[in-house]
A = this chain, B = another copy of it.
């Protein structure tokens, strides 16, 4: 009988050593080592978190806030190191979503058998 926790730790170790994670780590460390880039990235993150929370709580998001968020995105996209970091994030997110889909497939299959 396989131990799921052992297999999960194998996957965690693999993730840590993967090109995808190492690429993200390099990009992240580069941004964090540059004070101006770090601040810009933190602002961007903070703006996103605030908007997400409002959305989840069903609060109204004003046009000013949407415009502000759009500008923050534009700003970070023009910063080479931050846009590199965001690319790496997206890449790893794709992989993690794929992994999630793979490991929840047995459950999905089970529950679709009789519906």
Given the complex, which residues of B lie within 8 Å of A107, measured CB to CB? 21, 24, 92, 96
Given the complex, which residues of B lie within 8 Å of A92, measured CB to CB? 107
CA distance A103 to B20 in the complex (A): 14
Beta-carbon contact of B99 and A4 below 8 Å: yes
Residue total for A at the interface (Cβ-Cβ under 8 A): 42
8 contacts between A and B (CB under 8 A): A2-B17, A4-B95, A7-B10, A7-B11, A8-B99, A8-B103, A11-B11, A24-B110
Q: A1-B17, A4-B11, A28-B113 are in contact. List 20 more A-B contacts (CB 8 A).
A: A2-B13, A2-B14, A2-B17, A2-B18, A4-B20, A7-B14, A9-B102, A11-B11, A11-B103, A12-B106, A16-B106, A21-B107, A25-B110, A28-B111, A32-B113, A32-B114, A58-B58, A92-B107, A96-B107, A99-B103
